Amino acid sequence: MAEFFNVSLDYIAFDGREEKTIAPIADRELMQVVQEIDQLPPEDRDTIKAVLNTFIIKNRFQRLASATQKQTAAN
């Protein structure tokens, strides 16, 4: 069921409440920053999430473009 809906088992088990899900973060400094962000007002957290998502999307596009260029060069 989780695979079909592309969600975690925790998401299903906890009625969509994601607060029970813990993602391991190896970078201690990043973990501290995330904990501090969690204490900010909701509007500030939303802004930070939007900025982070922008960087993540940019990185995905760069990887995709790089893979496409490598594939084109190989042909």
Per-residue tens of pLDDT for the chain, all 75 residues: 556 666 666 666 665 555 545 677 788 898 899 999 999 999 999 999 999 999 999 999 998 888 888 878 877
Q: Output the DSSP codes for 14-44.
A: TTT-GGG-------HHHHHHHHHHTTS-HHH
Q: Is residue 48 a contact partner of residue 40, using CB atoms and an 8 Å limit?
A: yes
pTM: 0.58
Domain spans of the chain, in order of start: 25-75
Task: Copy the structure tokens of residue 16.
Answer: 């969509």
Q: Is residue 65 a contact partner of residue 59, using CB atoms and an 8 Å limit?
A: no
Q: Is residue 18 a contact partner of residue 29, using CB atoms and an 8 Å limit?
A: no
